[in-house]
């Protein structure tokens, strides 16, 4: 485990299907932290999941020394802040408060606007609605592309939102890439 710290991740039994579980796994990998993966059956919620996330009863849940942390974006922040979980010392969130706020804003945008429009393409049966969702998704991706260019300004061909290292917004968006590719 992480320097004597016990870490468990409650996820879904089918790896890669939940972008939110993938997000937590990506963050744990970036931090270089080892953990036990406990797969959950989507149709039969375990007692551990209910006890760990009694409000939503859903994954992911990170359990650190017996204490649960729910919701994928909160897990990312927790991995940076928790005492004893430095891992390889690489931060996920930027150090600057303004940059942190900007990263959180765009992560919420990805969660609340971009991904729902993308999955809306799959959910609609009417061609006109599908075309509208497609345009909404493309428009959202154009916004993110502009933000990436702005965040990378001054850094020649920086591969990530925060520059040369994978960070909060990269993980927040990266977990959806298999879904975007499928759509």
pLDDT digits (tens, 9 = 90+) for 30-59: 999 999 999 998 888 999 999 999 999 999
Domain with residue 13: its CATH number is 3.40.30.10
Count Cα neighbours of 173 within 13 Å in the Cβ-side half-sphere.
22
What is the domain extent for residue 156?
Answer: 97-182
Question: Domain check: are 21 and 70 in the same one?
Answer: yes
Question: Domain check: are 34 and 59 in the same one?
Answer: yes
Residues forming a β-bridge with 37: 9
Q: Do the domain assignments include residue 51?
A: yes
Supply the pTM of this predicted model: 0.85
Write out the two tokens for 179: 């879904």
Domain count, the chain: 2
Domain with residue 145: its CATH number is 1.20.1050.10
Helix (H) or strand (E) holding 106: helix 97-109
**Residue spans of the chain under pLDDT 70:** 1-4, 15-16, 86, 151-163, 182-183
Q: Do the domain assignments include residue 2?
A: no
Question: Domain check: are 171 and 116 in the same one?
Answer: yes
């Amino acid at each position: 485990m992480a320097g004597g710290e016990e870490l468990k991740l409650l996820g879904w039994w089918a790896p890669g299907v939940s972008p939110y579980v993938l997000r937590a796994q990506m963050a744990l990998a970036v931090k270089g932290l080892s953990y036990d993966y406990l797969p959950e059956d989507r149709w039969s919620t375990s007692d551990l999941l209910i006890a760990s996330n009694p409000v939503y009863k859903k994954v992911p849940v990170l359990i650190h020394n017996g204490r649960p942390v729910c919701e994928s974006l909160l897990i990312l922040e927790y991995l940076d802040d928790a005492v004893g979980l430095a891992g390889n010392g690489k931060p996920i969130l930027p150090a600057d408060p303004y940059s942190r706020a900007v990263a959180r804003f765009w992560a919420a945008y990805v969660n609340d606007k971009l991904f729902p429009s993308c999955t809306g393409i799959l959910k609609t049966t009417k061609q006109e609605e599908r075309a509208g969702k497609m345009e909404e998704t493309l428009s959202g991706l154009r916004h993110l592309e502009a933000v990436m260019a702005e965040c990378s300004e001054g850094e020649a061909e920086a591969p990530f939102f925060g520059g040369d290292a994978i960070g909060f917004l990269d993980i927040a968006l990266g977990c959806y890439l298999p879904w975007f590719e499928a759509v």
